[in-house]
Amino acid sequence: MTKLTFAAHPFLLGFDQLERLVERTAKTGNEGYPPFNIEQCGENAYRITLALAGFREEDLSITLEDRQLVVRGRQAEESGDRIFLHRGIAARQFQRAFVLADGVEVRGAIMENGLLHIDLARSEPDSVVQTIRISRA
């Protein structure tokens, strides 16, 4: 039995890339760490904010890989001199990925008070009207 997908619909020509994007998004981990917000800051501006208490800028890397924004964090190992009676602050590595639509660009990132802010902007494509000439057979 063949798998019927939305991109196989006859009115959706060339949307197979969108289907792969949806599948890739569904495969990304649903782990809750680190917590994050996504907010709209303007008509075409967005901000992703990750709560990264205890991480320094040197512990983080932000990459854009094939329309996928990937934030990775790894804290340096602490010396074994400390004895914790309770350890509630996470000190672990993480990877969080966000799939970006075509036309969305990363404008920059800042670390402020334990929050990593990543600013995004979507460029508006020019409206193009094209007339197709019909030739005789």
**What would the pLDDT profile of 115-127 be if each residue is shown by its tens digit?**
999 999 998 877 8
- CATH code of 60's domain: 2.60.40.790
- Select from 33, 25, 38, 32 the least CA-distant residue to 119: 38
Q: What range defines the domain where residue 26 resides?
A: 1-30
DSSP summary character for residue 16: H
Residue 16 lies in a domain: yes
Co-location of 74 and 102 in the same domain? yes
Looking at the fold, whether 73 and 26 belong to one and the same domain comes out as no
pLDDT tens-digit series, residues 36-51? 999 999 999 999 999 9
40 shares its domain with 98? yes
Is the pLDDT confidence value at 112 over 80? yes
Residue from 39, 68, 70, 72 nearest 55 by CA:
72
Poorest-pLDDT segment among 26-35, 65-74, 86-95, 124-133: 26-35
pTM above 0.85, yes or no: no
Q: Are residues 57 and 110 in the same domain?
A: yes
Taking 70 as the threshold, does the pLDDT of residue 130 lie above it?
A: yes
In-domain check, residue 135: no
Half-sphere exposure of 131 (CA within 13 A, CB side): 2
Does residue 137 form part of some domain?
no
Count of domains for the chain: 2
In a domain, 37, yes or no: yes
19 and 64 both lie in a single domain? no
Averaged pLDDT for residues 97-104: 90
Instruction: Give the span between the Cα atoms of 4 and 29, in whole angstroms.
Output: 25
The C-alpha atoms of residue 64 and residue 105 are separated, in whole angstroms, by: 10
Same domain membership, residue 6 and residue 63? no
Measured CA to CA, the distance from residue 88 to residue 85 in angstroms comes to: 10
Give domain status of residue 129, yes or no: no
- Same domain assignment for residues 102 and 51: yes
What is the chain's percent helix, strand, coil content, to nearest 5?
15, 35, 50
Residue 22 sits at φ, ψ, to 5 deg, of: -65, -40
Nearest-angstrom CA–CA distance, 74 and 94: 7
| One domain, residues 26 and 73 | no
Ramachandran angles phi, psi of 59, nearest 5°: -85, -5
- Statement to judge: residues 43 and 61 lie in one domain: yes
Task: Decide if 48 is inside a domain.
Answer: yes
